[in-house]
Amino acid sequence: MAGKQFWLGPVRSGVTVTFWADTDVIHLLIAGARIKSVRSHLSVADLAALMRQGGRPAGPPPLPPAEQGEAVEVDRTVNRAGSVSLGQHLVLAAEILGGRRVGVRIEAATLSFFDLDTRQLLRTRPNPLAPADISRLRGVRPAGPPPQPATGPVPVQRRASNSGVVMVVGQKVALGRTHAGKTVTIEVTDTDLTIHTDAGPRTVRRTNDQPVRSIKAHRPRKIASAVATTGPAPADDGIAHDFA
């Protein structure tokens, strides 16, 4: 349409599509239902040309613009660096969310990233978007209920060092040399760390309020990828190190 292709998937092959278009946004509809919305590439002259080619005056947009200050939502996939694209802005969500499809609730001052299935709050960031930017976002819709933070512990995995020490949320926990090299599951709450080992669970009090940044334990390197180096041996500080 007007020199641009719009992807709808092979399952919709042969279906008639109606375009609602202005210079800001294009909505694609099938049987009156909005399928997707994209930023418009059309000028006033393009719209006039479409009218001459059989276009007709459009009614109200299928997705009314949000009132000033009203929350809206979009769905985005977080890239490998932990960021999402919102119009002309690349906004950091969290590196730990890389590759994950999330919802973004957009309010006047904040962006709330949440799980699409449970509406669990994942991260909150400042909102860099102007009202005009928000109205032109692809796939924008009226917001649902505010996402809520998780209330249970966050399970993570850590691999003990050669001296039986694990590091989680910036805190070292000594498990003993009998656990050297083992991977353990740790449940993290605001106040405690519960480490599950072969000998049973062990709970220690947290000493800081750092957020969880990594869920999975780092995999040990394979022998084939190791590189020999020369120099003094590293100090055994209780934490597993990689050298290359």
User: What pLDDT does 218 receive?
Assistant: 60
Q: Is 192 helix (H, G, I), strand (E, B) or coil?
A: strand
User: Long-range contacts of range 194-199, CB-CB < 8 Å, 24 or more positions apart?
Assistant: 194/153, 195/166
Distance, CA of 156 to CA of 9 (rounded, Å): 38
Q: From first to last of its 244 residues, what are the pLDDT tens digits of the chain?
A: 888 888 888 888 899 999 998 887 788 888 888 777 777 888 888 999 999 999 999 888 776 555 555 889 999 999 999 999 998 899 999 888 999 999 999 998 899 999 988 888 888 899 999 888 888 898 888 888 888 877 678 888 999 999 999 999 889 999 999 999 999 999 988 788 999 988 889 999 999 878 777 777 665 444 333 444 444 444 444 444 433 3
**Residue among 2, 13, 9, 8 nearest 21 (CA):** 2
Give me the domains of the chain, ranges plus CATH numbers. Answer: 1-63 (no CATH), 72-149 (2.40.50), 154-225 (no CATH)
How many CA atoms does the CB half-sphere of 101 hold within 13 Å? 4
Q: Is the pTM of this model over 0.75?
A: no
What are the tokens at 191?
């106040």
User: What pLDDT does 184 receive?
Assistant: 92
77 bridge partner residues: 101
